[in-house]
């Protein structure tokens, strides 16, 4: 099919100079080149009187536009048809393709590869980050006949359409799996996942094992702690739960309660003013903020560690095994249980930490992150810039409480189902990676075999 040859871009591109003088009474479209080779879009429309620099360049559909400062970050692409006549400043370079030597479709495929990008980055290693118009023309590309370019473009387009269709399918699958996660959580805290468990264990949900008896014990323990020196803070009584607050009917053996009734205390992390730059060290005591709660687990961040001296100063914010950490701003659905290796970490400024009484912490965490619970919290916690959660609202959150035995059965069932979903999500992600690898393989083959 012919031999490949390597040519400089100057052989297939012509640098197009020329400015127009902006008319104050005319409206203009202004372009923006997206980074990472993601194309050219409309930035905004302005009247000429609003444009300070009166000398501008006019774009033509099909022009290759290169950003002087952002080329090394992939700031280049083709002007789309709908931006014919748009304007850009002198900080952009416009090039016309010699269509007798190269097609726009073929050049577009080259842009998706790293032929050009690697050369820009190699020559942009100095402190001066911009490139010159002539430098771009000095870069080299592989070139063949127009006929072979058309064959390559057709082959690439075929695989690109397949990848796009596959991407839509995989996105739908991930969305479905996300919805399935929420459905599992909701059915869990409504007792629907343990219907058969209750049928097999009637003695564990009745009489002295009824959840109402568990709630009585919890309240008694809380009264004892309140009266002792170990726990001196006395919470305000919580109002009875009204029928309007109950989002679903409880199964046999369950009872409604409020979140605050299950807690020794709900504590706010230290204010930002309590922590200074000098308090943070590498390999110190990790602090936990909402960003450190990922997929229901607390993860360490080496950039957010504090010194032992700081921990001693803020020891009342130290986390203990079994504490719940809950985001108090931003994404309020973030909640995790402190594990053994996290005992002694420090609660951060954007979180609550909650010490529960005789309940399964993992079950309470599931109940908190369920859709119905989040809907209840969000109705009163929406701020002007982000969602904010306060202790009063958190304490009055209604919780459907089963017996301790059923709490553990629910946690076990959810863990099993979530593991299955995790595996399915992993398979979907692998298929996405395989489609990307296929496209790269197509590109490599196109520029080696034609």
CATH classification at residue 386:
3.90.220.20
173 belongs to a structural domain: no
pTM of the model: 0.70
129 with 242, same domain: the answer is no
Shared-domain flag, residues 369 and 281: yes
Tell me how far apart the 2 most distant CA atoms of the chain are, in Å: 91
Tell me the C-alpha distance between 443 and 6, whole Å: 17
Q: Are residues 120 and 222 in the same domain?
A: no
If asked whether residues 25 and 99 sit together in one domain, one would say yes
- Paired with 27 in beta bridges are 47
- List the end-to-end C-alpha distance of the chain, in Å, as a whole number: 7
Tens of pLDDT, residue by residue over 21-80, are: 999 999 999 999 999 999 999 999 999 999 999 999 999 999 999 999 999 899 999 999
Give the pLDDT of residue 237.
83
Q: Are residues 393 and 257 in the same domain?
A: yes
Q: State the DSSP H helix or E strand holding residue 221, giving kind and residue range, or none if neither.
A: helix 211-227
Neighbours of 173 (CB within 10 A): 15
Does a structural domain hold residue 199?
no
The encoded tokens of residue 302 equal 């080496």
Expressed in percent and rounded to 5, the helix, strand and coil fractions of the chain are: 45, 20, 30
Domain that holds residue 88: 5-144
List 318's β-bridge partners, or say none.
346
User: E strands of 357-417, at which residues?
Assistant: 398-401
Torsional sign, CA 86, 88, 92, 93: positive
b/e for 239-252, b at 16 or more Cβ within 10 A? eeeeeeeebeeebe
Both 132 and 273 in one domain: the answer is: no
Place of tokens 């990008």: 117
d(CA 117, CA 64): 15
Any residues with CB less than 8 A from the CB of 162 and at least 6 apart, and which? none
Rounded Cα gap, residues 142 and 158, in angstroms: 21
Interacting residues of 368 by C-beta distance below 8 A, sequence separation 6+:
259, 324, 326, 335, 397
- Quote the pLDDT of residue 114: 84
- The low-confidence residues of the chain, meaning pLDDT below 50, are 1, 125-127, 232, 384, 450
Q: How many residues does the chain have?
A: 450
Q: What is residue 333's three-state secondary structure?
A: coil
User: Which tokens belong to 39?
Assistant: 């194309």
Asked if 392 and 249 sit in the same domain, the reply is yes
Residue 207 Ramachandran class (φ > 0 left, ψ -120 to 50 alpha, else beta): left
Number of domains in the chain: 2
The reply to whether 254 and 396 lie within a common domain is yes
pLDDT at 101: 94
In angstroms, the CA 311 to CA 285 distance is 7
């Amino acid at each position: 099919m012919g031999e490949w040859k390597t040519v400089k871009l100057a052989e297939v591109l012509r640098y197009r100079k020329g400015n127009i003088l902006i008319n104050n009474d005319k409206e203009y479209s202004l372009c923006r080149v997206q980074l990472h080779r993601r194309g050219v879009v409309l930035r905004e429309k302005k009247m000429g009187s609003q444009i300070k620099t009166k000398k501008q360049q006019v774009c033509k559909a099909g022009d290759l536009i290169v950003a002087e400062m952002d080329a090394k970050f992939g700031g280049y692409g083709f002007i789309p048809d709908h931006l014919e006549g748009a304007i850009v400043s002198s900080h952009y370079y416009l090039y016309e393709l010699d269509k007798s030597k190269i097609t726009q479709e073929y050049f577009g495929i080259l842009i998706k590869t790293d032929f050009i990008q690697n050369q820009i980055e190699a020559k942009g290693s100095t402190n001066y980050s911009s490139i010159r118009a002539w430098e771009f023309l000095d870069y080299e590309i592989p070139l063949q006949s127009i006929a072979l370019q058309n064959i390559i473009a057709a082959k690439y387009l075929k695989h690109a359409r397949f990848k796009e269709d596959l991407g839509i399918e995989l996105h739908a699958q991930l969305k479905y799996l996300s919805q399935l996660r929420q459905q599992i959580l909701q059915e869990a805290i409504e007792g629907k996942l343990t219907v058969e468990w209750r049928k097999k264990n009637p003695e564990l949900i009745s009489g002295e094992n009824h959840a109402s008896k568990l709630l009585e014990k919890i309240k008694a323990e809380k009264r004892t702690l309140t009266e002792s020196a170990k726990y001196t803070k006395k919470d305000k009584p919580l109002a009875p739960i009204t029928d309007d607050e109950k989002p679903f009917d409880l199964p046999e053996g369950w009872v409604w309660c409020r979140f605050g009734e299950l807690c020794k205390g709900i504590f706010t992390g230290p204010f930002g003013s309590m922590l200074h730059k000098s308090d943070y060290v590498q390999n110190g005591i990790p602090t936990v903020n909402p960003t450190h709660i990922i997929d229901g687990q607390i993860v360490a961040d080496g950039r957010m560690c504090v010194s032992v001296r700081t921990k001693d100063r803020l020891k009342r914010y130290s986390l203990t095994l079994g504490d719940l950490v809950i985001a108090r701003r931003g994404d309020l659905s973030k909640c995790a249980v402190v594990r053994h290796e996290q005992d002694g970490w420090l609660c951060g400024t954007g979180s609550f930490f909650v010490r529960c009484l005789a309940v399964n912490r993992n079950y309470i965490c599931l109940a908190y992150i369920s859709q119905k619970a989040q809907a209840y919290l969000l109705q009163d916690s929406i701020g002007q810039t982000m969602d904010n959660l306060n202790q009063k609202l958190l304490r009055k959150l209604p919780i459907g409480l089963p017996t301790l035995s059923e709490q553990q059965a629910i946690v076990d069932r959810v863990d099993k189902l979530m593991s299955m979903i995790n595996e399915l999500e992993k398979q979907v992600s692998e298929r996405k990676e395989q489609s990307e690898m296929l496209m790269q393989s197509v590109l490599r083959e196109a520029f080696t075999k034609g």
